[in-house]
Amino acid sequence: MRPKKTILCVDDNEQVLSVRTFLLETRGYRVIPALSSQQALEVVEQSLPGSLDLLLCDLIMPQMDGNELVRRAKQLHPGLPAMIVSGTVNAFDRASCADVFLPKGASSPAEMIERIRVLVARKRGPKKAHYAQPVNHMMTAVAS
């Protein structure tokens, strides 16, 4: 069985965090919930590079908003994909640091799960480098 992908899920609203955590866990993800950006940043600081598969956070939070959290997390782990979700904002420019932004009204649970699936798959990249080999070999045969 494949190891579970680990998602650091951040929201200052405990109810939203609980629902999102449940949604992700029932789809087979391992979730580390955090109720503040500061708490989430501590998790990132203490984790090994590559051990987190996604940072999923709310945009508007007290002390440190989602943009700042993503910016700081990417300084610590440049390869960490990040998704910002907002229940109040529908303009992308408010979430410029994230790889994906789901604005107000556009983040149905199904859409969010699909975006997450694509982001965590992209992080891993191709399984083995030799998959590219037959393509190159065919190109050489065609060119000859």
Angle at 73 between CA 1 and CA 56, to 5 degrees: 55
Domains, the chain, with CATH or none = 6-143 (3.40.50.2300)
> How many C-beta atoms surround the C-beta of residue 135 within 10 A?
9
Give me the pLDDT at residue 111, please: 85
Q: What does pTM read for this prediction?
A: 0.79
- 3-class DSSP assignment, residue 3: coil
Which letter does DSSP use for residue 81 in this model? -
pLDDT by 10s per residue, the chain, length 144: 666 899 999 999 999 999 999 999 999 999 999 999 999 999 999 999 899 999 999 998 999 999 999 999 999 999 999 999 887 766 555 567 788 888 766 667 888 899 899 999 876 544 443 333 334 343 444 444
